[in-house]
Structure 1
Amino acid sequence: MKYYVNTLYPGDYFRDWLVGLLGERIQNKNCEVDVFKYNPSSHTVCRYKFREERYSVVAKFFAEPCGKMKRYNAHDAMNNEYNNLKRVGQFINIARPIARHVDFNCALITEYISGNSLFHYMESERNLYDRLTSIAHTLRQLHDSTEGYYDREREFANFHEVLDQLALDHSTRQVFNELLGNWWYSPLLDRYSGCMIHRDATPSNYIFRKGVPYALDFESSWENGNAIRDLGIMCSELKNYFELNKGSGINAEPYIGHFLWHYSSSEDDFHYVTQVLPFFMSLGLLRSARLHRQYPHFNYLIKEAIECLKALK
């Protein structure tokens, strides 16, 4: 969701820097610039629309955190996402980075991608199968192009970190600990290689422009991750959305199956993906639960996360 917050005029330091930065992309150097803020977001994120130029950029200000995490190195975070985008842009469509500037509250400037997010297609269900096919192919391209070693321990450490954030009662936490112990000793999560993962593969981070998918927001991406984590997060988002808005999470299952099939390279690969998926779907449901702690839906997400972990064979 975005809303208008301001208009910048010639003489504004940040506006003038943007105009100079963009060079020939802005014809009228004296144009006014309308500012729209996105909410919610982990940091201040704004679109800068150059009037009558048909051009916009997006700025993320890493020194202006909006989430619970307030203490971190904003300069390093800005550089990390800039470098991640530079690398990922070699393989898939992204909002390309344009510039960064530490003096403007650690601002990262990227292209503005117009279009509809995956949420738009989830709401109407029109062309949703096609859009999920495109995202599946995008993720496959990212994962296959960035192979490295696999950091298995970090996956489990992060799972426990999310559980810590939920502050579950003792007995419920023990259930999760025991189930995670079963997965720890299972060979299913052993891989010979990892890859770069988006790590926040949510519907809002995939925009379609003329039917072509663009991935956004690589601030939290990982090297040496488990590729199926991205699939699990996306599938948990689908299930959660359909539970809240379409009558039942069960109604998401045809779309989930379609998405996984088009990601998989073979029937054997599909079989492996579907075996490992519940671990990362459970993680995705717990991530969503952080946003519903004061609502009854929280209990549904915790129950489903437990059921996913019980799916280990």
Structure 2
Amino acid sequence: MGKQYLGHLPKNDPLHGYLQYDIQPQLTGFRDSVTYRVFKLNGSNAVYLYEEKHTGAKVIGKFFLSPQEPDPEVAARRLSRECRNLLMMRDRGFTGYPHYIARPLGCNASLNQLLVVEYCDGELLSSLISRAIRNHDDGLLFYKLTALAYFLASFHNRTAKDSRVDFHEAGRYMDGLVGQLIEGQTLNGKESHEFHWLRDRWKEQPKMWEDRQVLVHGDATPENFLFGNELSVMSFDLERVQWADRVYDAGRIAAELQHFFLLETGNKYLAEPFIGHFLWEYSCHFPDREQTFRSITGRVPFYMGITLLRIARNPWLTGEYKRRLVHEARQCLRRWS
């Protein structure tokens, strides 16, 4: 996880007192004298790492009220939702090996809607994918995707309910992505008509409505999963947990794998063995592995397609590469029948 050192947290900063008197005792017991090093973490939100100099204790602080989100009411709702989701999934058993959700240590509305969670030590999936590609270490990536498939299958299976998937929600999400890409001039109006037509074709497919709803991670990107030893998987950002099709997460991971290989090698086909492996390993956590694999692979192209559209919004990508992602999204979405 990339970080930028900012210096020491001033002792007269209200946050210093909150960390010392409310958070630190949960980790090391109360200490009279503490010094906190501050690091800015890479990411779209105001997220910081605080490291106590003498004990080495680390915590993550996420400020929901920030220049990116200046509305206090929205920020308060987001803080409440993420804290509630973290506690909920820990109550579902994600508190040890091999599946772990970071423990929330405190919420403080007066400090810009701050959430403090424990620091988890591991390697990000994004780093693992890039390392495997760079070193031609297929075994590493296959093994860690087995671990991630196990984690996500457990996440989904422990939360499944009887209600069927409401595919209208996924369609509305796709509409939002298409609108953002038009606004950013990555898509034109003619192209948007085809994407809307493809959305409707997917809506007509009974397979998109037939599975039971589960709680999905909702932001299953390579920046939101840490890996420890063997099958250990940790996650820490659950703000976007929602009821949806389990393939919402599985398809996002599949699309992210394609994106990484496309960006780093120029060859999307190199990702296919890993995508297939991930989906096959996910399917092994169901009574009928082959039937599950057929079912999820029939729905994956839609969720891969919308994830590629989502990635194409990123401002740091070149215009040429964004257009390539849109092309690949279209190819996925055309596989509706």
Instruction: Please give the TM-score of this superposition, normalised by the length of structure 2.
Output: 0.88
Distance (whole Å) between structure 1 residues aligned to residue 84 and residue 26 of structure 2: 25
Q: Deviations over 1:198-220 (max 9, x none)?
A: 11101110011334110121111
Matched, 1:261 2:280: yes
Tell me the amino acid that sits aligned with residue 87 of structure 2: K
Within the candidate set 213, 223, 234, 1:204 is matched to 223
Distance (whole Å) between structure 2 residues aligned to residue 220 and residue 242 of structure 1: 26
What percentage of aligned pairs have identical amino acids? 29
State the partner residue of 1:216.
Answer: 236
Q: Quick check: 226-235 or 191-200, which moved more?
A: 191-200
Contact 1:9 1:31 in 2 (8 A): no
Aligned residues: 309
Contact 1:152 1:190 in 2 (8 A): yes
Tell me the amino acid that sits aligned with residue 9 of structure 2: L
SS in 1 for 2:107: strand
Tell me the amino acid that sits aligned with residue 310 of structure 1: R
TM-superposed deviation, 1:193: 1.8
Within the candidate set 136, 152, 162, 1:139 is matched to 152
Matched, 1:249 2:251: no
Contact 1:195 1:225 in 2 (8 A): yes
TM-superposed deviation, 1:13: 2.0
Distance (whole Å) between structure 2 residues aligned to residue 128 and residue 208 of structure 1: 11
SS in 1 for 2:93: coil
RMSD, aligned CA? 1.6
TM-superposed deviation, 1:247: 3.2
Which structure 1 residue ranges, 5 or more long, are not aligned? none
Tell me the amino acid that sits aligned with residue 145 of structure 1: R
Matched, 1:14 2:29: no
Matched, 1:98 2:105: yes
Q: Residues 53, 161 of structure 1: CA spacing in aligned structure 2 closer, same or farther, 3 A cutoff?
A: same
Within the candidate set 166, 169, 188, 1:169 is matched to 188
Distance (whole Å) between structure 2 residues aligned to residue 244 and residue 294 of structure 1: 11
Contact 1:91 1:141 in 2 (8 A): no
Contact 1:115 1:208 in 2 (8 A): yes
SS in 2 for 1:4: strand
State the partner residue of 1:117.
Answer: 124
Distance (whole Å) between structure 2 residues aligned to residue 65 and residue 199 of structure 1: 23
